[in-house]
Amino acid sequence: MSREPLLLRHPWTGERSRFGLSEDAASLAEKAARLRAGQPDWAARSPEERAQALVALREALARRREAMLAALFADTGRVRESALEFDATLATLSRWAEEAPKLLAPPPAKASNIPFIQAKQRYEAFALVGVISPWNFPLLLALIDAVPALAAGSAVLIKPSEVACRFTAVLEEAIAEVPALSSVLAMALGDGRVGALVLEQVDLVCFTGSVATGRKVGEACMRRFIPCFLELGGKDPALVFADADLARAARAIAWAGLANAGQSCMSIERVYVEKEAYPAFLSALCAEVGRLRLNDEDPAVGEIGPIIAERQVEIIRSQLEEAYALGARALVGGRVVERHGGFWCEPTVLVDVHPGMRILREETFGPILPVTPFADEEQAVALANETEYGLSAAVFSADPQRAERVAGRLQAGAVSINDASLTSLVHSAEKTSYKCSGLGGSRMGPASIMRFLRKKALLINPGVEDPWWFPRA
């Protein structure tokens, strides 16, 4: 493998252009060594000093808003979501700068279970954290784990997706303006082969992406006995009971399933509706989805952006074709269309679907809502749990007790009640995925930063004369 420019495709125009240089084994090892050399000084700073550096990075990024939005447009072909993604990234930096110093204070020394032995708990950051990120929110998902890792005192090497990495040029400029950070935060461009090399260099891995790659990453980390945190795909269900406010539910589900053209791990990808409410809900949902427009004429106008990754086009197309062949019908939308070199999936409502179809089993990552009626609570829970995924879910009901009871039975790390995909907005609540949607401690909430700390115990005998039971000389 040699160092070569990446060939990137613009999702809105289909144009291809060269960008940057991918790493090879030698250049990557050099980068990792440089970060390792910088990490002890970084870790020796106080949490407050590290927080100041994160605030400085936030400011350096905020000054580059236009350049970053242009890069994100070239990476993803969307405008509105890129602005939201950028603002969410700035908020991530502010939040960790504020919270980390409080969370990192070591607990006071205390007596252990052996009354005369004192136990002091120390935290030591893993020296070098590797972050491997996907293309759907390229900036946010490159930094979502990197920021708490830095706040904890680790150095971080980010391997962004080879599909969408133009944003790194702007991010690198911003990092260069913060000298304290530039020796402990770097990016490594390249495809999965470079990702695999990263796994050989780092002490801990945070991976966001597909289940198939996540499995390879997990296996490689286990071989080296290094911790890995996997944030993988989802096939999130929404359950709508007949007593719910159907108009609100339809609006929430349209948003949660179709924002970012469905290219989000916590998109709603399956909708189950109590049969009494099925016709009314369907007509409300079709009205909501029917109003949404592609942004193919003017990127700033319209709610549905292009399919970002070229290889995703075939996945979406083939899932739709198989569903039609097995009897599904599109009440709204239903096609993947090509416009001036880009590909868009029409916002779609599908009915007459069944679990034999890939579109109900596999992650679609498109703006498609398959809707199925259910008879009662038992069946609703069974249908929702009939999946290899367990990322998040949503329940709509006017009865709060029922909503919480059902949420408790769903195999999902987070359940939104009378709303959907709230995990995209609420970062303070901890969650762990079920089944193939992930592995490891919560990325959200205060527990997130603890993932980057080794816990070291200092066990102190204050000089008790002779606590040992062996005979004395």
Residues annotated as catalytic (active site), given as ranges: 231, 265
Instruction: Compose the 362-401 pattern: x for residues touching ligand TXE by CB under 6 A, - for all others.
Output: -x-x------------------------------------
Closest contact distance (angstroms) between CB of 364 and ligand TXE is: 7
In angstroms, the CA 270 to CA 8 distance is 32
> Closer to ligand TXE at the Cβ: 153 or 160?
160
Q: Which stretch binds ligand TXE (CB under 6 A): 29-37, 105-113, 195-203, 402-410?
A: 195-203
Amino acid found at 46 = S
Give phi and psi for 155, each to the nearest 5: -90, 155
> Closer to ligand TXE at the Cβ: 150 or 265?
265
Residue of 82, 168, 295, 312 that binds ligand TXE (CB under 6 A):
312
Closest contact distance (angstroms) between CB of 34 and ligand TXE is: 21
Question: Within positions 134 to 153, which residues make up the interface with ligand TXE, using CB under 6 A?
Answer: 134-136
In angstroms, the CA 441 to CA 206 distance is 11
Closest contact distance (angstroms) between CB of 50 and ligand TXE is: 26
Residue of 14, 101, 192, 290 that binds ligand TXE (CB under 6 A):
192
- Indicate the SS3 state at residue 335: coil
Does 84 interact with ligand TXE (rule: CB under 6 A)?
no
> Closer to ligand TXE at the Cβ: 242 or 315?
315
Residue of 221, 265, 284, 414 that binds ligand TXE (CB under 6 A):
265
Residues 6+ apart with CB under 8 A from 199: 130, 205, 217, 220, 221, 224
Residue of 20, 47, 233, 366 that binds ligand TXE (CB under 6 A):
233
- Measured CA to CA in angstroms, residue 193 lies from 20, 133, 157, 159, 230 at distances of 16, 14, 15, 11, 18
Residue of 159, 431, 443, 451 that binds ligand TXE (CB under 6 A):
159
> Would you report the helix, strand and coil content of the chain in percent, each value rounded to 5?
45, 20, 35
Alpha-carbon dihedral 324, 328, 330, 335, rounded to 10 degrees: -20
Treating both helix axes as pointing N-terminal to C-terminal, what angle do 192-201 and 211-224 enclose, rounded to 10 degrees?
Answer: 30
- Beta strands 336-339 and 329-332: pairing type? unpaired
Name the β-bridge partners of 18: 7
CA angle (240 as vertex; 239, 241 as ends), nearest 5: 115
Instruction: Compose the 337-366 pattern: x for residues touching ligand TXE by CB under 6 A, - for all others.
Output: --------------------------x-x-
> Closer to ligand TXE at the Cβ: 147 or 266?
266
Does 226 interact with ligand TXE (rule: CB under 6 A)?
no
> Closer to ligand TXE at the Cβ: 231 or 419?
231
Closest contact distance (angstroms) between CB of 1 and ligand TXE is: 13
Closest contact distance (angstroms) between CB of 170 and ligand TXE is: 18
> Closer to ligand TXE at the Cβ: 153 or 234?
234
Nearest to 271 by CA among 168, 371, 171: 371
Residue of 22, 76, 161, 372 that binds ligand TXE (CB under 6 A):
161
Residue of 196, 226, 247, 417 that binds ligand TXE (CB under 6 A):
196
> Closer to ligand TXE at the Cβ: 82 or 312?
312
Buried b (16+ CB within 10 A) or exposed e, 172-194: eebbeebebbebbbbbbbbeeeb
Beta strands in 213-341 (DSSP E): 228-231, 236-240, 268-274, 329-332, 336-339
Does 451 interact with ligand TXE (rule: CB under 6 A)?
no
**Under 8 Å between Cβ of 206 and 199:** no
In angstroms, the CA 61 to CA 138 distance is 15
**Under 8 Å between Cβ of 397 and 241:** yes
Q: Which stretch binds ligand TXE (CB under 6 A): 76-84, 101-109, 129-137, 284-292?
A: 129-137
Q: Which stretch binds ligand TXE (CB under 6 A): 102-110, 126-134, 339-347, 458-466?
A: 126-134
Q: Site size for ligand TXE, by CB under 6 A? A: 28
In angstroms, the CA 142 to CA 360 distance is 29
**Under 8 Å between Cβ of 166 and 173:** no
> Closer to ligand TXE at the Cβ: 199 or 249?
199
> Closer to ligand TXE at the Cβ: 42 or 126?
126
Give residues in contact with ligand TXE (CB under 6 A): 132-136, 159, 161-163, 191-192, 195-196, 199, 208-210, 213, 216-217, 232-233, 265, 309, 312, 315, 363, 365
